[in-house]
Amino acid sequence: MTCRGGVGNRLLAGLPPEDIALLAPDLETVAIDPETVLSHAGDRIEHVFFPHSGAISLMIDMAGGQTVSTAAVGHEGAVGILAVLGPSPSAATAIVRAAGTASRIPAYRFHVAFNRSPPIRHAVQIHVRAMLMQFQLGAACNALHPVRARMARWLLYLRDHVDDDVLPLTQEALSQMLGVRRTTVTLLTRDLRASGAIRSVRRGQIEIDRSQLAAAACECYRTMRHEVEEIFSTHPARPSVLPVPDEASR
pLDDT per residue as tens digits for the range 109-118:
999 999 999 9
Q: How confident is the model at residue 240 (pLDDT cuts 50, 70, 90)?
A: very low
pLDDT for 242 = 32
Write down the domain spans for the chain: 1-117
pLDDT for 7 = 58
pLDDT for 2 = 35
Q: Do 34 and 97 form a contact (C-beta atoms < 8 A)?
A: yes
Q: Do 130 and 234 form a contact (C-beta atoms < 8 A)?
A: no
**Span 1-117 CATH architecture:** Sandwich (2.60)
Residue 87 has pLDDT above 90, yes or no: no
Query: How many Å apart are CA 173 and CA 167, to the nearest integer?
Result: 12
pLDDT for 245 = 33
CA angle 158, 226, 41 (to 5 degrees): 50
Query: How many Å apart are CA 177 and CA 70, to the nearest integer?
Result: 8
User: Over the stretch 40-50, which tens digit does the pLDDT of each residue have?
Assistant: 999 999 999 99
Give the mean pLDDT of the chain.
87
If one compares 4 and 176, the residue with the highest pLDDT of the two is 176
> Residue 65, class by beta-carbon neighbours within 10 Å (0-12 exposed, 13-18 middle, 19+ buried)?
exposed
